[in-house]
Amino acid sequence: MNIKHITTVSKYTFHEIYKTNIFLSTIFIGFLICIVTILATKLSFGAVHKVSLDISLGLISLSVKVISLVYGINLLGKEIEQRTLHVVLSRSVSRGSFLVGKISGLGLILIVNTMAVALIGILAFIFF
């Protein structure tokens, strides 16, 4: 496996998923965290911070799982359907490098999404 090929495929996968407006879901989840935090301040007595953090961590975990399922299922299917997989594999890129690159590109999207939702959760925790 060649590191250069892995990083190229990973970067392409990151940009491909990024173009699908994945971060609209991040904004929606952040908005949901803010609303639930406001409701938690009204409904819980004395455990506002714990409820806010628990809900934020739960929504972060849920968003990572949903995004990985939705985009992970279509990760190789789209390449096979558009016949770009055959073109890439006919070059010097090995199958292992291609697969590791695709998985690492999806992993980068998940890391960026997790950091963004965690930042929104921390800000909601601080301000509310």
Q: What is the pLDDT of residues 41-69, one digit of tens each?
A: 788 777 777 877 888 888 888 888 988 88
pTM: 0.82
- Average pLDDT over the chain, rounded to an integer: 84
Distance of CA 98 to the CA centre of its chain: 20
- Percent of the chain surpassing pLDDT 90: 5
Q: What are phi and psi of 81, to 5 degrees?
A: -65, -40
Burial label, 21 (beta-carbon count in 10 A; 0-12, 13-18, 19+): exposed
| pLDDT for 125 beyond 80 | no
Q: Which of the residue ranges 29-33, 44-48, 74-78 has the most confident prediction, judged by mean pLDDT?
A: 29-33
CA distance 86 to 97: 14
CA distance 24 to 40: 24
How does DSSP assign 9-45, residue by residue?
A: HHHHHHHHHHTTTTHHHHHHHHHHHHHHHHHHHHH-S
| pLDDT for 116 beyond 80 | yes
- Model confidence band, residue 108 (pLDDT cutoffs 50, 70, 90): very high
